Amino acid sequence: MTGKKLAFLFPGQGTQRVGMGESFYNEYQEARELFAEAEEVLGLPLQRYCFTGPAEELTATRIAQPAIVTVTFIIFHLLHKQGITPSFVAGHSLGEYTALAAAGVLPFRESLLLVQKRAELMASVPGEGAMAAVLNISPQRLAELLEKYQKEGLIEPANFNSPSQVVVSGEKRLVQQLAEEINTEKLGKAILLEVSGAFHSGMMRPAAAEFRKVLAGFSFSMPVVPLVANVTAGPVTTAGEFPGLLERQLYSPVLWDKSLRQLEKMGAEVFLEIGGKVLTGLVKKTLPEAKTLTVVEPEDLKKVLAFLEEV
């Protein structure tokens, strides 16, 4: 449909909201079919969680993760059906699993099964974990603070989101203390995230060890379009890399700013976020000149179609 090279970006946990996917469900038969398929695969009343919540149930890791993958894959499918296809894909954390399905690495059903198991393992990790987004602090100052708190326990960088935003992850008390110090001393701004664990930190290593066994039961294909991985910020070149990359992703930082630069280097001209708006903000901070589009509701889909037909 367009000569522009599109990078499809898939958001992760934290983008769930009550009402997600409902407008697509009401408007498109394919959305209803994919919701039904997801409910059958997962054995969960996913529509109820997505459309009516309550929010505290939808936010739970075991619900939020398959819900986000289902809704973002539905939007991808509808774009694809309209002839809007990516030249590249990447997903932020959990979003990498929608990227796998979008790039033909795994069928949608298998991607959901894998996400369900991943969510269960992540939710079962012992200890109280937390995450906080840290904004507008120098890398050196943040490294010094982390070094100080690491003497007391586990806390480390989890997402390098943009030049001005790093997410830290670890033991809840340490994440809270770090956030409080940053805000009180006006070193930058720290915001505690609405997640139920210390994702992308060493606290996830027990889950990763179990997840390795789960991954061994899945067969991965080469992506039909280049897929840039979270833990390397580089394109995956062989199907055999996926189990190791996905296992490492549980306890390793997401190199998102580097991934965006890699996509630009590979030729991405338009960054299209599917099912959220958070990643679009990170694109603008990392690549200020980049063209961005978002699809969250059916009217966005129509706007994207109109824009791409123009160019």
What phi and psi, each to the nearest 5 degrees, are found at residue 179?
A: -60, -40
Q: Does residue 105 surpass a pLDDT of 90?
A: yes
Q: Catalytic residue positions?
A: 93, 200
State the average pLDDT over residues 90-97: 98
Total-model pTM? 0.96
State the average pLDDT over residues 172-197: 95
Q: Is the dihedral of CA 115, 116, 121, 127 positive or negative?
A: positive
> How is domain 129-196 classified at the architecture level of CATH?
2-Layer Sandwich (3.30)
| Strands of the chain, DSSP E | 6-10, 88-91, 129-135, 155-162, 165-171, 189-192, 270-274, 291-295
Residues 230-263: tens digit of each pLDDT:
999 999 999 999 999 999 999 999 999 999 999 9
pLDDT cut 90: percent of the chain above it: 93
State the average pLDDT over residues 98-105: 99
Let me know: does 269 contact 291? Beta carbons within 8 Å: yes
Residues 259-298: tens digit of each pLDDT:
999 999 999 999 999 999 999 999 999 999 999 999 999 9
Domain boundaries, given as residue ranges, for the chain = 6-124+203-310, 129-196
Q: Reply yes or no on domain 6-124+203-310 having CATH 1.10.40.30.
A: no
pLDDT band at 74 (very low <50, low <70, confident <90, very high): very high
